[in-house]
Amino acid sequence: MNQATQPTEPVMAREASIWAQYYALTKPRVIQLIVFCALIGMVLAVPGVPSWHEVGVAALACLGIWLVAGAAAAFNCLIEKGIDAKMKRTAWRPTARGQLGNHHTLLFSVTLCALGSALLYFAVNPLTMWLTFATFIGYAVIYTVILKPLTPQNIVIGGASGAMPPVLGWAAMAGNVGPEALILFLIIFLWTPPHFWALALYRVEDYRKSGLPMLPVTHGNEFTRLMVLLYTFILLAACLLPFIYGMSSWLYLMVAVVLNAGFILHAWYLWRDYSDLLARKTFRFSLIHLSLLFAALLIDHYI
């Protein structure tokens, strides 16, 4: 029922509903992972225990990155509202349901981006602001508008934007982009395709209806499963780099080997005998993999 047909509804309830809709546009679960990965970059950029000043800078950087990332997510919802409406996974979004209009969504996105960029520029450093803004352009424009509807390699190429959080975090604390930050970037960049293709495998009909050229739609289920498996082996090599480069110790190495063995095992079973259930398990494990891998880096840094 439309809110206009309920004149007795309390004003605060309506306001809460509207705020919940705006909040949903920021894709909170995705943003949590983005900020977490950025925080890992911040922590690793500071030798030893950070000072209170560094803690304050990190907190402001996390907030600024959250705002700009939320702006990019909202812009993505605006551009893809027609596609989202055709897919079960995204049909609930306020833009897809017509709860929030184009003007309000665009204004919300611009406001978040402006606030986040200003915070990063004045309270953190200009390098972090420009890198974060470039990430916004990469995801909201280059990936969403250009790559995603044109090529089945959209996830591979567009993964560069999603891999930027630890680079942003490193730049926020160090004022530069060191090789350590690029290693973290590479890990997420190579993690993204098997993570997202596992999702696309069991959501293939949604993508087929939407018209998006996702790999399972254009190249089929079997080819996509093979790509997922091959990428997990390449990802293993990338995940060994922090130890090889001297960023971490044996603790991280052991965790990385176990997690990547688990990812490869999931991908192997998925390749040998496909089922939607296995694809879901592989997708969910990929989230556990990245979270625990970066948590291991964090713990290892202080041991």
Confidence of residue 87 (pLDDT cuts 50, 70, 90): confident
Per-residue pLDDT at 28 exceeds 70: yes
End-to-end CA distance of the chain: 56
pLDDT of residue 170: 98
Tens-place pLDDT, residues 137-188: 999 888 988 888 888 888 888 889 999 999 999 999 999 999 999 999 999 9
Per-residue pLDDT at 18 exceeds 60: yes
pLDDT of residue 92: 84
Determine the residue type at 77: C
Per-residue pLDDT at 6 exceeds 90: no
Higher pLDDT, 238 or 49: 238
Q: Per CATH, which fold does 1-177 belong to? A: Tetracycline Repressor; domain 2 (1.10.357)
Task: Count other Cβ atoms within 10 Å, centred on residue 284.
Answer: 14
Residue extents of the structural domains in the chain: 1-177, 179-303
Per-residue pLDDT at 64 exceeds 90: yes
- Give the pLDDT mean for 197-209: 93
The single-letter DSSP state of residue 212 is: -
- Give the pLDDT mean for 30-47: 93
Is 297:268 a contact under the CB 8 Å cutoff?
no
Confidence of residue 14 (pLDDT cuts 50, 70, 90): very low
Per-residue pLDDT at 20 exceeds 50: yes
Average pLDDT, the chain: 91
pLDDT of residue 273: 93
> Could you tell me which of 228, 257, 223 has the C-alpha nearest to residue 240?
257
- Give the pLDDT mean for 188-211: 94
pLDDT of residue 281: 98
pLDDT of residue 253: 98
Tens-place pLDDT, residues 240-293: 999 999 999 999 999 999 999 999 999 999 999 999 999 999 999 999 999 999
- Give the pLDDT mean for 35-49: 93
Per-residue pLDDT at 10 exceeds 70: no
pLDDT of residue 16: 42
Residues 194 and 204: their CA atoms lie apart, in Å, by 15
